[in-house]
Amino acid sequence: MEPFNFVGTDGRRYVFWLECGEDYLYGRRAWYFEIWPAEVHKPEDFPYEARFELLDDGRLQSSMLDNHGLTWALRIGLSEALFEEVGRRTKCRIVSSRKSGEDQPEYRTILAEKMWKRFQCSGRASYSKIENRYEFIPPGSPI
């Protein structure tokens, strides 16, 4: 684990622990991330979990974001900070899942939709009607 520090959407500085690694999931290269609070946690506690799968050259798809309803992970901009970290580490753009109702076994929850709209409003993501997905462009990434 390594320290993961960021300034939250509320302007406060947050310190967490970050664990990450690479894996292959269903034949696709993937990265997983677990974020833990800096203070001591109980063994039965859950981390904030995220998984990103290689979609195509230069793009990852966020295949799972799960805060498990943990109060310490809510409404502080943790997902936004993680997306920037993932982009920095992988040098890839990050795309959302498509909305449910399509032939794909993927979906974008209401909370995920709100997060992607925040990215879009702040100029950090764009939306493609053709692909029906958002694309996050990490800071310093070529457009």
pLDDT, residue 38, reads 84
With a cut of 80, say whether residue 122 has pLDDT above it.
yes
Q: How far is the C-alpha of 84 from the C-alpha of 93, rounded, in Å?
A: 10
- Which segments of the chain are extended strands (E)? 2-7, 13-25, 28-37, 48-56, 59-66, 93-95, 125-128, 133-136
With a cut of 60, say whether residue 101 has pLDDT above it.
no
Q: pTM of the full predicted structure?
A: 0.84
pLDDT, residue 57, reads 83
DSSP 73: G
Question: How does DSSP assign 94-117, residue by residue?
Answer: EEPPPPTTSSSS----HHHHHHHH
Q: How far is the C-alpha of 55 from the C-alpha of 115, rounded, in Å?
A: 20
With a cut of 70, say whether residue 19 has pLDDT above it.
yes
Instruction: Tell me if 120 sits within 8 A of 113, measured CB to CB.
Output: no
Domain spanning 2-136 has what CATH number? 3.40.630
With a cut of 80, say whether residue 68 has pLDDT above it.
yes
With a cut of 70, say whether residue 95 has pLDDT above it.
yes
pLDDT, residue 3, reads 93
Provide the pLDDT confidence category of residue 102 given band limits of 50, 70 and 90: low
Spell 49-74 as b/e; 16+ CB within 10 A means b.
Answer: ebbbbbbeeebbbbbebebeebebbe
Q: Across all residues in the chain, what is the average pLDDT?
A: 86
With a cut of 80, say whether residue 6 has pLDDT above it.
yes
